[in-house]
Amino acid sequence: KQEVTQIPAALSVPEGENLVLNCSFTDSAIYNLQWFRQDPGKGLTSLLLIQSSQREQTSGRLNASLDKSSGRSTLYIAASQPGDSATYLCAVILGWGAQKLVFGQGTRLTINP
């Protein structure tokens, strides 16, 4: 059974720092991996989707990498801002068609001004 783990569960850093969030998964037979952002009381917003044939994706200050063989992904946030404070979830996508996403528990990120 696929399991997804995110470490740390919570992270607090001062504004301006670069930071890395980690995601690991137990079965390398995934189609894609996706990073989401969740704000309190809100739904999930997709940040980056990495296809299994890719090694990384970038969007603005965000960069996500994927190493299927080691079962790991990282989300790098450059020059963090208070507006980046949220919970970040990674999910592996199993299979084509109806997407079966397996989520990690999330990392709650706080950026201190």
Partner 1 sequence: NAGVTQTPKFRVLKTGQSMTLLCAQDMNHEYMYWYRQDPGMGLRLIHYSVGEGTTAKGEVPDGYNVSRLKKQNFLLGLESAAPSQTSVYFCASSYIGVSTDTQYFGPGTRLTVL
∠ CA 104-88-82, rounded to 5°: 160
Phi (first) and psi of residue 84, to 5 degrees: -80, -10
> Residue 14 and residue 38: Cα distance in Å, rounded?
20
Q: Which residues pair with 33 in a beta bridge?
A: 50, 92
Cβ-based nearer residue to partner 1, 41 or 113: 41
Cβ-based nearer residue to partner 1, 16 or 95: 95
Interface residues toward partner 1, by CB under 8 A: 4, 9, 31-32, 34, 41-46, 49, 51, 89, 91, 93, 95-106
Cβ-based nearer residue to partner 1, 80 or 89: 89
CB of 7 to partner 1, least distance (A): 13
CB of 42 to partner 1, least distance (A): 6
Which DSSP state fits 84? G
Relative to beta strand 72-77, strand 62-67 is antiparallel
Cβ-based nearer residue to partner 1, 10 or 20: 10
CB of 65 to partner 1, least distance (A): 18
